[in-house]
Structure 1
Amino acid sequence: MNQPSVISPGARGPVDHDIRDQIVAAANEHFSQYGYGKTTVSDLAKAIGFSKAYIYKFFDSKQAIGEAICANCLSTIVAAVEKAINEEGLSATERFRRLVKTVVATGVDLFFNDRKLYDIAAFSASEHWPSSQVYNAQIKSFVLQIVREGRELGEFERKTPLDETVDAIHLALRPFVNPLLLQYNLDFVEQAPTLTSNLILRSLMP
């Protein structure tokens, strides 16, 4: 399934440029020590050993650098979900269970075992960065894919409008998809995938 990709709107120059990658790597390390919110482009320039003007040749703002880091992080979750749900021979019900389980497990592993990624992902979600919006759209498209398949196979009910069903499921998953909300649900990550999946799947029964 082809998914939309995230390209930071503030990125400049060749995407695969070695210097760009060096700036992103150094920024990632700097954010981990001082936090995204407290770091300025001037701080990064001093830490990396480049001039501020030189960094602006590749990124037009600190957010653009954060976007590059965040997009890489969120794409890891998307790739894990896509792999989990697209295995051959699965029912739509099992695909949905895998979607929820993988979103929660991968998100917790990325964001809370590596706090620098959480810090940036939280900014992305709170400020509605393109990386966050694309991530949400990708998860929603997976839900649509599974619900549509389940209806075609007779596993799920077909009376409720498809868009209404997908919107409702996506909202129900928001506490585990959105990094800002996930931090408040860490005590429930062991049982949440099963309980949430069971509730939603019961509502989808024909």
Structure 2
Amino acid sequence: MNKTVTHSVPARGPADHEVRDQIVAAATEHFSRYGYEKTTVSDLAKAIGFSKAYIYKFFESKQAIGEMICANCLRQIEAEVRAAVDEADRPPEKLRRMFKAIVAASLRLFFQDRKLYEIAASAATGRWQAALAYEERIRKLLQDILQEGRQTGDFERKTPLDETVMAIYLVMRPYLNPLLLQHSFDYTDEAPAQLSGLVLRSLSP
């Protein structure tokens, strides 16, 4: 989680990646302990041992630091989802595994690290670039699975692809979006199998 994701995240100042990584790692630990919303850049500077002005050489705001931490968390979830999908040979099973992995990874973030979950919730509320980019990559992965399924004959081809992608993405969204996830706990045990089953039946050629 301490690996820094530099693209699509506001960063500035000297190209000293080691210092930037050090700030992000320290901020991740600090936010995990005290929470994102309750922490100021001044608090963070004291905890890290840097001056507030020095931190601003690398990040324009607290949100910029939060975006990078959020991007790291979301990249980790995405990596788990892609690994699960890659284990399957055929598109229907890839779709089932995608549903299951998204729910499992999202729940782990919520229950195991609630303070970092707060950052993800802030990202979703503020429509941060890190969150938007994550959603777009998930939609692209979904689109790739659907395209492959159409080529293999596993999925129907009549419905426009973009319409199909968005419809299925909206089914997944309660388990992708941290603000919606907290209202879906009662269904997380059965949701992956039942929702993916329903979606797969709708995709039958």
Q: Structure 2 length normalisation: TM-score?
A: 0.92
Tell me the distance in 1 between the aligned counterparts of 2:104 and 2:37.
26
Q: Counterparts in 2 of 1:96-135, with a 5 A limit?
A: 96-135=95-134
Other-structure match for 2:71: 71
Residue 61 of structure 1: CA displacement?
0.4
The number of residues matched between the two structures is: 201
1:154 and 1:50 map into 2 onto residues whose CA distance is 58
Cα distance change on mapping 1:85 and 1:15 into 2, 3 Å = farther
The aligned residue for residue 202 of structure 1 is 201
Unaligned 5+ segments in structure 2 are: none
Q: 2:16 & 2:191 partners in 1: Cα distance?
A: 39
Q: Is the 8 A contact 2:14 2:57 kept in 1?
A: no
Alpha-carbon offset, residue 86 of structure 1: 2.0
Query: C-alpha separation between the residues in 2 aligned to 1:69 and 1:8?
Result: 12
Q: Which moved more, 1:30-39 or 1:113-122?
A: 30-39
Match of 1:7, SS state, is coil
* TM-score between the two structures when normalised by the length of structure 1: 0.92
Q: Percent of aligned pairs with the same residue?
A: 60
Following superposition, the deviation at residue 10 of structure 1 comes to 2.4
Q: The residue matched to 1:163 in structure 2 has which SS?
A: helix
Q: Any idea what the Cα deviations from partners look like across 1:94-140, whole Å, max 9, x if unmatched?
A: 00000110111011112321112201000111111111001100110
Contact kept in structure 1, 2:9 and 2:68, CA below 8 Å: no
Q: Is contact 2:70–2:130 with CA below 8 Å preserved after alignment?
A: yes
Corresponding residue of 1:59: 59
What residue is the counterpart of 1:85 in the other structure? 85
SS at match of 2:59: coil
Structure 1: 4+ residue segments shifted above 6 A: none
Cα deviation for residue 9 of structure 1 reads 3.8
CA drift of 1:14 comes to 5.6
1:48 corresponding residue in structure 2? 48
Query: SS of 1:173's equivalent?
Result: helix
Residue 11 of structure 1: how far off its partner (Å): 1.0
The aligned residue for residue 10 of structure 1 is 10
Aligned to 1:173: 172
- 1:33 shift after superposition: 2.6
Which amino acid letter does the alignment assign opposite residue 127 of structure 2? H
User: Residue 115 of structure 1 aligns to which amino acid in structure 2?
Assistant: R
Amino acid at match of 1:103: I
Q: Distance in 2 between matches of 1:102 and 1:112?
A: 15
- How much has 1:8 moved relative to structure 2? 4.8
Which blocks of at least 5 consecutive residues in structure 1 are unaligned?
none
